[in-house]
Chains A and B, each alone.
Chain A
Amino acid sequence: MNNALDYSKKHGIAIITILLFILLALTTDGFFTERNLRNILDQQSTILIAASFMTIVIISGNFDISVSSIFVVSPLFALLVENATGNIFLALIAGIGIGLAMGAFNAIVVTYFKVNSFIATLATSFMFFGLGYLISDRSLMRPMGDAYQQIARTKFFDITSATWLALVVVIIASIILTRTRFGRNVFATGGNQEAARLAGVNVSRVQAATFILLGGASALAGIVSSSRSMSAQPSDDFSFVFAVLTAVIVGGTSIAGGKGAIWRTVAAAFFLAFMSNGFNLNQIDPLWQRIILGLVIVIAVAIDSWSQRKNV
């Protein structure tokens, strides 16, 4: 008798996303067009890349605020290398490399010095943002050649490489989380750290790996974004990480750790994208868009904690 309820609880976010899609397709002109949908896919690619690995970090019981700063700094470093060598492969490697390094720095602060991950990554965010100003000499950076924009803008089957990259990252992250020993250890670490330790899981190593992976993913997202706009600029802008966190949390991945899934994050990212696209197409005042977005987050989290209470 509880099966229907259980099913909707488990797949709620996917069902709601599909319903919203159908609703918009039926009611809103210009939504269900190839061009609009391709645009949505392209726009969501950077968020999906970072959010996939953010999901893993959160399941393991941590938080990473520094995603924004890595998103800002990595393309600056990539462009520095591109400007010096003209080689976009070197630029990519450098950009992702510095992202991994920043992730490793987070990992050390959290797992070795045992600083709460929220505070640790807030602190490292400032350091990384500062690094961005250093690398760029406080100015806008542009690629030397046209090749750099190929990273995000090349089209295969009419779909941008940014979208394809996001797809590949999502699939890799899902495989890591659901089909590997590491993935199981991530769930164990976030679900019950002491139990995981007594079962022989190297908890620190697992957590460290999640931060490093997210560092690399955030860097890739930053490079894709800069390739799309053909520029990168140092800033102190935290907005990217909040977009990423919103997708993960609305998806229902528990901020207490131990529970969640990448497909949930993907569904939520599209739910949020459809919503905002629907608002724009219906010309709803951005002021109201924010208020409604905030409300949706509150509702999503409230449903999550309500359903958990019912379980006990």
Chain B
Amino acid sequence: MEKSNSNSNTLVSFEKVNKSFGATNALIKCSVSFEAGKIHALVGENGAGKSTLGKLILGVHSHDSGIIKVDGNEVFLSSPRDAVKHGLVGISQELSLLPDRTVVDNIAIGRETTIGPFVSSKKTLEKVLAVMEEYGLFIDPTKLVGSLSVADQQKVEILRALNTNARLIVFDEPTARLASHQADQLHDLVRSLAKSGTAVVYISHFLEEVLKISDTISLLRNGEKVRTDSTSKETKNSLIEGMTGRDVGNLFPNKPTIDPTSEVLLRVRNLTRENEFKDISFEIKKGEILGIAGLVGSGRSELAHAIYGNRAPDSGSIELYGKEFIIKDVAHSIKNGMAMVPESRRDQGLLLERSLLENTSLPYLEKFTSWIYGLNKEEEYSEVDESCKTTMIKHSGLEKEVQYLSGGNQQKVLFARAAMNKPKLLIADEPTRGVDIGAKQVIYELISQLSKVGEAVLLISSEVEEIIGVAHRTLVMSRGKVVAELKGSQITKSAIMEAAFKQD
């Protein structure tokens, strides 16, 4: 154990804290302490307990047993309100802002300056401006939050935290939705917060990021703390080994070779949709994995949805197997051999409260339906079971609701669904977002398997390493246009980034 408790700068400390949800032990005898002025990162796979730890600090959940101390005094944080009183505030992955209210309203919410019973807009604004001034973070206070970019919305949330005189800020995956230059700005901001004496708890999946900005790293695995060490003692490999408990070896499978004579499966010509993407032309051969890189908002997902039939393009055409394919609707595209793993599994992919069985077979029920008998559930069950086996989903029964699966397994459900159709073209939009390294490895393997049997994959990803490790060829999109096409060894991080940020 650490000697940290004696440290005079310790702001919050946990001593043998336990927390369980039903039968799941989310956090087991966890002892850790957070110091003022330090950036303390929490790393671990999904379900390791790092978000739970963060939520205990913020009073979102209350601990079952053990001791939590703030300023050396034992406390029980039963609600976020309690935590805020102690100056403990969080910036969550899903931002909790009011989109139809102004920046100043959002920052000052619950802390408006009042004169008698009335809110003084002027004084409230002055106070917010003073906070902006203090930290050099300016955003037009009269703008509606809904009209801001994600990065600016996050700044609003940080300003809100600063406005409550936060002494400790928990950042939970703050860069998951940011482009890399925005992430850099955030890192600078986090560093300056720490410099001014704020304690920072930084939860992130991105190990490079953690290594770059933190002072201390705590590693968690299956609800238990493995170790806390100063960042200088850790490397990416030591962290991965600590997180998974094993050496993962090579994350990416070998790229399958494409038969040079193989035919073109999909040809896209001058596809355009106003304000989203313009004049997109490319082709994919059978067995090819084509990456689409670029920043969020560059039109990648929109393009994918147009090809998939979810949103009609304004002009342009696509060909499937050399024949013109009329984009009608999603059902039509699925019938013609397309499958999609959408960007957000929670919002666009899964029915969380329905069973694994229903989630997997949803698009293909027609196959199991006859007019007289209705659904043939036995047949459905056996096909779904097979598909779940090939995608290596760990589950405790096909009739269990998918909300109880881990993030990685939920993501695999979407692959199991796609595999049911033996798709000719798989569109995978951020297929490994928010999943742990073990699940990532499986997903890359699945994509590579598909390619081996001659299916084409359109891989959209913000993770450059992923594109480099998996794709045969990649397009880089920026502001709705394809700005570069890179092949084989041309696919490098710097080439992708340069193209993505090029100003035209």
Interface, chain A (partner B; CB < 8 A): 1-2, 175, 179-181, 184-185, 187-188, 191-192, 194-202, 258-259, 310-311
Measured in the bound complex, the distance between the Cα atoms of B329 and A197 in whole Å is: 9
> Contact mask B346-362 → A, CB, 8 Å, 1/0?
01111111100010011
For B362, the chain A residues whose CB sits under 8 A away are 184-185, 188, 196, 199, 201
For B403, the chain A residues whose CB sits under 8 A away are 311
Whether the Cβ atoms of B334 and A200 lie closer than 8 Å is: yes
For B374, the chain A residues whose CB sits under 8 A away are 175, 179-181
Measured in the bound complex, the distance between the Cα atoms of B308 and A194 in whole Å is: 14
Pairs A–B under 8 Å by Cβ, sample size 20: A179-B374, A180-B369, A180-B374, A180-B375, A181-B374, A187-B358, A191-B354, A192-B347, A192-B348, A192-B351, A192-B352, A195-B348, A196-B351, A198-B330, A199-B330, A199-B363, A200-B330, A202-B329, A310-B22, A311-B403
> Contact mask B2-26 → A, CB, 8 Å, 1/0?
0000000000000000000011000
Contact of B365 among A181, A258, A259, A310 (CB under 8 A): A181
B366 interface contact, C-beta 8 A? yes
Give, as a whole number of angstroms, the nearest-CB distance from A308 to chain B: 9
Measured in the bound complex, the distance between the Cα atoms of B333 and A106 in whole Å is: 30
For B354, the chain A residues whose CB sits under 8 A away are 187-188, 191, 258
Whether the Cβ atoms of B23 and A2 lie closer than 8 Å is: yes
For B281, the chain A residues whose CB sits under 8 A away are none
Given known contacts A181-B375, A311-B403, A258 and B351 CB-to-CB distance under 8 angstroms: yes
For B350, the chain A residues whose CB sits under 8 A away are 192, 195
Interface, chain B (partner A; CB < 8 A): 22-23, 308, 310, 329-331, 333-334, 340, 342, 347-354, 358, 361-363, 365-366, 368-369, 374-375, 403, 417
For B23, the chain A residues whose CB sits under 8 A away are 1-2
Whether the Cβ atoms of B348 and A200 lie closer than 8 Å is: no
For A311, the chain B residues whose CB sits under 8 A away are 403
Whether the Cβ atoms of B351 and A194 lie closer than 8 Å is: no
Contact of A195 among B22, B329, B349 (CB under 8 A): B349
Measured in the bound complex, the distance between the Cα atoms of B350 and A202 in whole Å is: 16
Give, as a whole number of angstroms, the nearest-CB distance from B397 to chain A: 13
Give, as a whole number of angstroms, the nearest-CB distance from A195 to chain B: 5
Which residue of the partner chain A has the closest CB to B335?
A200
Whether the Cβ atoms of A187 and B351 lie closer than 8 Å is: yes
Contact of A200 among B22, B358, B363, B369 (CB under 8 A): B363
Measured in the bound complex, the distance between the Cα atoms of B365 and A196 in whole Å is: 13
For A197, the chain B residues whose CB sits under 8 A away are 310, 330
Measured in the bound complex, the distance between the Cα atoms of B358 and A196 in whole Å is: 11
Measured in the bound complex, the distance between the Cα atoms of B428 and A198 in whole Å is: 13
For A192, the chain B residues whose CB sits under 8 A away are 347-348, 350-352
Whether the Cβ atoms of A191 and B351 lie closer than 8 Å is: yes
Contact of A188 among B22, B310, B351 (CB under 8 A): B351
Whether the Cβ atoms of A184 and B365 lie closer than 8 Å is: yes
Give, as a whole number of angstroms, the nearest-CB distance from B415 to chain A: 14
Give, as a whole number of angstroms, the nearest-CB distance from B391 to chain A: 16
Give, as a whole number of angstroms, the nearest-CB distance from A307 to chain B: 12
Measured in the bound complex, the distance between the Cα atoms of B354 and A192 in whole Å is: 10
Whether the Cβ atoms of A202 and B331 lie closer than 8 Å is: yes
Measured in the bound complex, the distance between the Cα atoms of B331 and A185 in whole Å is: 13
For A195, the chain B residues whose CB sits under 8 A away are 342, 347-351
Given known contacts A181-B375, A184-B358, A198 and B348 CB-to-CB distance under 8 angstroms: yes
Measured in the bound complex, the distance between the Cα atoms of B443 and A110 in whole Å is: 40
Measured in the bound complex, the distance between the Cα atoms of B358 and A180 in whole Å is: 12
Give, as a whole number of angstroms, the nearest-CB distance from B127 to chain A: 35
Give, as a whole number of angstroms, the nearest-CB distance from B329 to chain A: 7
Q: Which of B331, B366, B368 has the most CB of A within 10 A?
A: B331
Give, as a whole number of angstroms, the nearest-CB distance from B478 to chain A: 25
Give, as a whole number of angstroms, the nearest-CB distance from A173 to chain B: 13
Q: Which of A191, A192, A310 has the most CB of B within 10 A?
A: A192
Measured in the bound complex, the distance between the Cα atoms of B365 and A192 in whole Å is: 17
Measured in the bound complex, the distance between the Cα atoms of B311 and A194 in whole Å is: 12
Query: Given A185-B365, A188-B358, A195-B342, 8 other A-B contacts at CB below 8 A?
Result: A181-B365, A187-B354, A195-B350, A198-B308, A199-B362, A200-B330, A201-B362, A258-B354
Give, as a whole number of angstroms, the nearest-CB distance from A165 to chain B: 22
Measured in the bound complex, the distance between the Cα atoms of B470 and A50 in whole Å is: 55
Measured in the bound complex, the distance between the Cα atoms of B329 and A187 in whole Å is: 20
Measured in the bound complex, the distance between the Cα atoms of B368 and A1 in whole Å is: 36
For B369, the chain A residues whose CB sits under 8 A away are 180-181
Q: Which 3 pairs between the two chains have the least Cβ-Cβ distance?
A: A191-B351, A200-B331, A179-B374
Contact of A191 among B308, B348, B353, B417 (CB under 8 A): B353
For A198, the chain B residues whose CB sits under 8 A away are 308, 310, 330, 340, 342, 348-349
Give, as a whole number of angstroms, the nearest-CB distance from B289 to chain A: 21
Measured in the bound complex, the distance between the Cα atoms of B389 and A191 in whole Å is: 25
Which residue of the partner chain A has the closest CB to B374?
A179
